[in-house]
Structure 1
């Protein structure tokens, strides 16, 4: 608490921090004014004779700090330069150097951009007959115009550059001329001019674009200079896809980043993981949007410019304890100078559930199986002979009534329907729509970007479905106050609404609906003949008439910052302040639902009526201020940074509920009349602050070194453990730049070796107040004086040595480019998570308290990730065909290396040394006994049997692996496991993503597959799998029909059919015993996306102001191949009531358009 108060204070802290920030800006501005007067007055002195212009550019860059951007092929045409200047300005220097050269320049924000002179003919170019004029447009691989591309006539310096839309015009060309089109980062093309129509020229991105700028912690670096394990991808992968959130779009696209959804619920947030198992206490990567920790689920995918994953300690070190398990950096789009550009995109999608259990509905078959399962346990049939006979009659003649009056009781209905409750619960299709609009532009002083996004998703329920709405707006402004001072703002507002049916369980997230709908009797029907709900139909009735819930989130956020530069941009100071207020509000009510069981029965009611409301608010603040210095001295490159970060978070929660609503139409708390209302609330606060630094050094563009460190503090640790020093280092060697390698550069155009080592802390493993003893209170069980008094319990024990979890990272990698077309990156890593916080050594029972948490466990994760990309172009029917292929594969394995479980007891689910988290212990299944004699003569299996005698034909036979004449799990330890052993592991292995994109003649096509190469699935006690083995009145699923053992079906998969075998009689008995016979592979491959689009290039559109119009069709999660039982989706194997019992996944089929004005 003291740590937090030092940072936050007690009252009015937000306004005070803001005043301090303003004061800092004023002080910095005053200092800047004093320094800047001389910083841009620096003069340039040159004395060169007959040297290459590249050498002159390098000397100017060293003296001025201005970077030069140019095309290598263009510079090779330069004449030697001779120049004598003393104390000249930059403009004077450039004018002298560019004299009589075939190119010109422009200066933009501390950069000199070199490009060909427009339409200039060399005097020594032979005069040619000129007879045609040419116009056209240069496009990138997505069909967008490329501004600033060079269009030159081969063999001359006559040419031009494209305008901001990619358009160009050339007059007076010989009809035999060849046009050469080039642009930085793209392969150069040569084409024959055509004056009959507007030329459309598409450039392909160069595979090895080493000058690309990659976003890293608190800054950017050129890709060529990276020494850490970093993967990045453009926001283009998210465009034109009907994805509900960014996570779904990034799945499989970045090696090492595993994204799992687990549910198809509208608005459901995916889970992110970088490089495998993190800690026994859990741990997730730090996710930053424009440098601010943000709920990525609420971000507009259309706003994303790039996504970068920092995977090792060296690349993530500046973020400290929150980056222990990697960082995902999302950068949003910014405004560009030029006339206002408006973009609009929309997408409308039809969605369909991917996979549901296959239910048997034939009345005769259902009643026979239910009787068999029921009698196996109870000894009698569930249905009498009259009911059984009528069910078979209705199977033969479906026109017979499904609901009849019980012949033995005229007050009760009998049901003989054929109801597939999944089809009753879920509608065939649901839909979603997304609309995005953005406008950007600016001038030399101000640039802007504004966007708005609306997303609506309708849920899958047939009755009164749920729905989700998301509305985002974002505004970014950059003010160039002076040449050395920029002030910017980045404001965003997000609002989400999730409206849903309130269930009778009072717990929407429990999964009870998905559990109960799987057990609803297929012989029953939703409604009685008079229209009233049946007992089974109440599951649907609660959706339609049982009340509603509504959760609303409002989240405004604003960041204001500044960037200053001195001494020709070699020294920069940057700072920003962010404030975000997140408010969630929920209101829900439910009412008792009437139903009838017979024509003359009194109305019954399911559930009860109540109203509830809860609200929470979260105030988040962050301050960053840092300075960096960058300079090149000859062959030596230096860049250093040092800064300070502080974050504050305060959370409050309140809830209230009461029962007995006076009306079924009004669900507010003040309409409830219950006498025992419930009210609760809580709150917490935390803070982090730290100083960070980074030093980069490069020699001759060949030898690279980076050293990072953070001195980090967290309020979640005791006073004497608030801070930790977290250093890291990385190095790289660009082998391809060595003289001995020059003969291979035509094949291997880039080869870099990298290595890193570093330490990170983890403060996610503790609660906000776990470091201090706390007192609990509540009613005691004893009655004193006729009441149960409130008592305060003894405080919990806290270890005095409790300290940080530490994560130690090693990484070795290689980057290689072949033929300037194929890029490959491979990394091997080892991550040791040490001092994990868990229970310590067992204390004497007489102490009367459980053992305190201690730093008592370690684990090690080893793995690798591989990324391959290939880009090329060829002519197809006289037009360029551009294509790109990419493959990402990654894998990891984790082992526990220290844990306080000396006997390695695995049976209780505890960790032990040598365990691979996710291991499934189980038995090896030999088969099914075919005779009583075989069962009686086999090793004794009684320890694993439940309600039924296993010494009979039709029962499971296990392998006696230790040959002791009995089947058991020993004492449940690794040393004495009996016949149990590890039969599988639930951790996903060999994650992969494979994709390709293709463009030709305004047509674009993309395809992407994602999947897992190895993973085990044990269905546990899920009724979706075991059917009536779980409970005798569960649904009959097709997987068991004809597949349960009888003397006539000796090769059946399942044993003899009896109810209550799969879990009711306890864990590790009967069919609840994990075993190889019912262990499945959860490996899969899924077609995540397929998109086909066409871009119109018609003069009519341009005349009405449309620069580009593209229509497309897209499919999401269209197909998958796996080895799972019917009804189980490989991405949704969880469920609080059993495997697979979750909100179902859906495929998406969509139409969309993109328009630019």
Structure 2
């Protein structure tokens, strides 16, 4: 069940979406049914659910009720006593007690929420028409026209015309096109008749990170997607992978673990290996990383995804699954800028099925018992505590007991400042996520300091410092057993303590809260990243960069199953403790040469040599037999028996060389050639080096004289 959470912030679940569509379609109709066939209906209910009342009305009238399950479940219980009454009168009584409204069509009655005056006003719809042109009055073909915050949109036709229907009076319409500034206009504005888009020169010349350098977006020959910090932080999550979901074409994100602090799987260009890893290579400020879960999203300035195979010719064998480049925020010249961002969000379960209630479960058990015995004996069918609960009707709602809405919060402070010589950016962050299941949660503290200092006119040094510390607490692994637990059960004893067997029917129905209460599973992660660099502008065209980094990560994982735990009691308590250490050392020499031969010929070359050493060690120990559960895994030193300790290690070395040449001819013909050579200690004895060449050509056809005036071509 941990894989089904939903953050209630901007979106709703599928049921709420259907309810919204129904609400809009019926918004112009009266709240009450205007005409009903006269039917003699007799109804006598007291404190009954709305759904059961609908079922009774369906049986008497033949009408089918269509409604959103969440709306009906949230409606208050009702009491009605009527004899030989019409359907219209009955529905009017329901409306008074529940604020639900009805619409009859053929043999179907649609049910929705009672509309307030504010809702009526906000759902009054209209149709708008207009034309989208550029500053010269020429129509823009294929411009995007979208109702902000929805999927209701259209593109302009060959004459730049558009038409949007079913717009609310308070809607905002977005007009966008590649190379032009996005414009937003209210649905009740007179400006909608003619929208003029202005060219965005900054967008046309936007510079993006492409690996060991930067490049104008218009000059890129590879497949690259860029995601801004604003888009990433629009999704509340501890995982950068989840924030990236839906933000870049060709990037597939799936949640591997929805528990607090859980991570996501990121696939670029699909799955490439059945047994090996499929994760992309992460590069943060020039430093390779195997995971980005420790990165604070508020520190990110931009994120680029290298999606095509040419990324291997830049980053070698480790880039077989694509590359994600992350650039963090840096200092700015001028007055100190302090920004504070925060949010609070609620998490709840998004169900794709309904649990049976007590009555339904009892009915199924009766049927199963009869089919097996060809007779029915109530005391034998419902043994132990089940019979008492069956007679009292005090059923257990396991879903409500085990899963509850949980809050998460995030706080970030960013300080940016600098002068002519020194600039710095300091970011501090705190993230706290409560689990929807008992005994689970995640907290993270992060701090980042980026400094740039100009020693000489042509010499700059800098450092990137990152430290994160996180704590994770997870529920016992047997938590999901509650899904099949019978609702005819008793969770607690009369004194308020937990029952171990919730039915006492001899069927091993162990209390799912029992193992959670008698276990303790915690982990702590510390990451330290230190990066130093030197930039030397040797000549106008030639520059050199030395880049060195240390990336360490330490993970402490501890578990304890108490003396009353259904597994731990077999050993009078069981504890495990493990610590893993990883160290990544990197040093790079990078030379860049940029030469504009004339206005028609632009040339640049990059050469890189690097040494990378990666060390990983893991130590594990376990013990059994404890006097009590007071210290949990912290008492592992006093265990009566110990298992075999484990010690694992890995040592890898990588020597790499890179050469890349880019040539721009007439701002129309773009050529890129690259070769990466990797020598690795994990390669075979007779094949210590791998070669990864690539070549690319791009033709900016819109710059050709015969198509320069064509508006249907994007710039």
Offset at residue 288 of structure 1 (A): 1.3
Q: CA deviation at 1:357?
A: 4.1
Report the alpha carbon displacement of residue 677 of structure 1 after superposing the two structures with TM.
Answer: 3.3
Once residues 638 and 367 of structure 2 are traced to their aligned partners in structure 1, the CA distance between those partners, rounded to angstroms, is 47
Q: Is the 8 A contact 2:559 2:575 kept in 1?
A: yes
Q: Distance in 2 between matches of 1:527 and 1:269?
A: 35
* Residue-by-residue CA offset, 1:540-559 (whole Å, 9 max, x unaligned): 43355303122001111100
Distance 1:437 1:590 in 2: 40
Q: Residues 217-252 of structure 1: CA distance to partner in whole angstroms, max 9, x if unpaired?
A: 111000111111111122110235422222111101
User: Is 2:389 aligned against 1:402?
Assistant: yes
Whole-angstrom CA distance in 2 between matches of 1:315 and 1:588 = 41
1:323–1:375: structure 2 CA closer, same or farther, 3 Å change rule? farther
Report if aligned partners of 2:572, 2:626 keep a CA contact under 8 Å in 1.
Answer: no
| Residue pair 1:612, 1:657 contacting (<8 A) in 2 also | yes
Flag the 1:496–1:590 CA change in 2: closer, same or farther, 3 A. Answer: same
SS in 1 for 2:474: strand
Q: How many Å separate the matches in 2 of 1:306 and 1:384?
A: 69
Question: Which residue number corresponds to residue 616 of structure 2?
Answer: 651
Q: Residue 259 of structure 2 aligns to a residue in which SS?
A: coil
Q: In structure 2, do the counterparts of structure 1 residues 664 and 334 end up closer, same or farther at CA, with 3 Å as the change threshold?
A: same
Q: Cα offset for 1:586?
A: 2.0
Which of 566, 570, 577 does residue 548 from structure 2 map onto?
577
Using the TM superposition, give the Cα deviation of residue 403 of structure 1 relative to its aligned residue in structure 2, in angstroms: 8.4
Quote the residue 1:426 is aligned against. Answer: 403
State the distance in 1 between where 2:373 and 2:582 align: 59
Match of 1:610 in 2: 574
Judging changes above 3 Å, is the alpha-carbon distance between structure 1 residues 534 and 393 closer, same or farther for their aligned structure 2 residues? closer
Number of residue pairs the alignment of both structures matches: 516
User: Deviation of residue 531 (structure 1)?
Assistant: 3.3
Q: 1:233 aligns with which of 223, 227, 235?
A: 227
Match of 1:492 among 446, 452, 466: 466
User: 1:284: Cα distance to partner?
Assistant: 2.1
User: In 1, distance between residues paired with 2:373 and 2:416?
Assistant: 75
* 1:632-711 to 2 correspondences below 5 Å: 632-634=596-598, 635-667=600-632, 668-670=634-636, 672-711=638-677
**CA distance change for structure 1 residues 390 and 632 in 2, over 3 Å: closer, same or farther?**
closer
After superposition, the Cα gap between the structure-2 partners of 1:188 and 1:459, relative to the gap in structure 1 and judged at 3 Å, is closer
Give the structure, 1 or 2, with the largest relative contact order (CA under 8 Å, sep 6 or more).
Answer: 1
Structure-2 separation of matches of 1:622 and 1:728: 25
**Counterpart residue number, 2:173:** none
Query: Do the aligned partners of 2:294 and 2:527 also contact (CA within 8 Å) in 1?
Result: no
Partner of 1:284: 279
Output the CA distance in 2 between the equivalents of 1:543 and 1:335.
50
Identify the residue that residue 519 of structure 1 maps to in structure 2.
Answer: 484
Structure 2 CA distance for partners of 1:525 and 1:416, relative to 1, 3 Å: farther
Alignment of structure 1 residues 1079-1098 onto 2, 5 Å: none
Give secondary structure in 1 for the equivalent of 2:706: helix
Equivalent positions of 1:938-1017 (< 5 A) are: none
Displacement after TM superposition at 1:383 (Å): 8.2
Write 1 or 2 for the structure with the bigger share of helix: 2
1:276-327 Cα deviation digits (max 9, x unpaired): 1212334221111112123211111111111111111224421010111211
Instruction: For residue 500 of structure 2, give the secondary structure of its aligned residue in structure 1.
Output: coil
Q: Is the 8 A contact 2:232 2:244 kept in 1?
A: yes
8 A contact 1:266–1:459 mirrored in 2: yes
C-alpha separation in 2, matches of 1:204 and 1:677: 71
- Structure 1 SS opposite 2:453: strand
Cα 1:216/1:382, change in 2 over 3 Å: farther
Do residues 265 (structure 1) and 237 (structure 2) align? no
Match of 1:547 in 2: 519
Partner of 1:334: 330
Deviations 1:933-991 (A, max 9, x none): xxxxxxxxxxxxxxxxxxxxxxxxxxxxxxxxxxxxxxxxxxxxxxxxxxxxxxxxxxx
CA–CA separation in structure 2 for the residues paired with 1:304 and 1:526:
47
* Cα distance in 1 between the residues matched to 2:201 and 2:515: 53
The corresponding residue for 2:562 is: 591
Distance 1:300 1:447 in 2: 21
Pair 1:255-2:232 in alignment:
no
Matched with 2:699 is 733
Q: 1:385: how far off?
A: 2.8
Shift of 1:417: 4.9
**1:558 pairs with one of 520, 525, 530:** 530
Q: TM-score, normalised by structure 1?
A: 0.42
Over 3 Å counting, the alpha-carbon distance change for 1:382 and 1:297 in structure 2 is farther
Q: 1:449 aligns with which of 405, 422, 425?
A: 425
Alignment of 1:790-801 (within 5 A): none
Secondary structure, counterpart of 2:641 in structure 1: coil
Instruction: Find the partner of 2:588 among 616, 624, 634.
Output: 624
- Corresponding residue number in structure 1 for 2:34: none
Deviations along 1:148-198, whole A, 9 cap, x unmatched?
A: xxxxxxxxxxxxxxxxxxxxxxxxxxxxxxxxxxxxx87599xxxxxxxxx
- Contact 2:544-2:592 within 8 A present in 1 as well: yes
TM-fit CA distance, 1:523: 1.2
1:1094-1133 correspondence to structure 2 within 5 Å: none
Q: Distance in 1 between matches of 2:677 and 2:487?
A: 63
Cα distance between partner residues in 1 of 2:264 and 2:612:
25
Report the Cα distance in structure 1 between the residues aligned to 2:454 and 2:607, rounded to whole angstroms. Answer: 24
Return the alpha-carbon distance in structure 2 between the equivalents of residues 383 and 689 of structure 1. 77
**Does the 8 Å contact 2:386/2:489 carry over to 1?**
no
- Is contact 1:610-1:672 (8 Å) kept? no
CA deviations over 1:581-626 (Å, ceiling 9, x no partner): 111112222213389xxxxxxxx97885122211110111111111
Contact 2:314 2:675 in 1 (8 A): yes
Alpha-carbon separation, structure 2, partners of 1:390 and 1:563: 79
Q: Is structure 2 residue 437 aligned with structure 1 residue 473? A: no
1:385 match: 378
Match of 1:324 among 310, 320, 327: 320
Q: 1:390 to 1:661 in 2, by over 3 A?
A: closer
Taking the aligned partners of 2:243 and 2:501, their CA distance within structure 1 comes to 39
Kindly indicate whether the alpha-carbon contact (under 8 Å) linking 1:591 and 1:607 is maintained by their aligned counterparts in 2: no
Distance 2:703 2:382 in 1: 86
Residues 421 and 552 of structure 1: is their aligned pair in 2 closer, same or farther, counting only changes over 3 Å? Answer: same
Alignment of 1:8-87 (within 5 A): none
- Between the aligned partners of 1:381 and 1:470, the Cα distance in structure 2 is 59
The question of whether the paired residues in 1 share the 8 Å contact of 2:655 and 2:679 is answered with yes
For the residue of structure 1 that corresponds to 2:203, the secondary structure is coil
Structure 2 counterpart SS, 1:731: strand
CA distance in 2 between counterparts of 1:304 and 1:209 reads: 20
Aligned to 1:1060: none
374 and 293 in structure 1: CA distance in 2 versus 1, 3 angstrom threshold: farther
Deviation at 1:518, TM superposition (A): 1.6
Deviation at 1:675, TM superposition (A): 3.1
SS in 1 for 2:490: coil
2:365 paired residue number: 370
What residue number does 2:138 align with? none
Structure 1 residue 337: Cα displacement? 0.6
Q: CA deviation at 1:416?
A: 7.1
Question: Bigger radius of gyration, 1 or 2?
Answer: 1
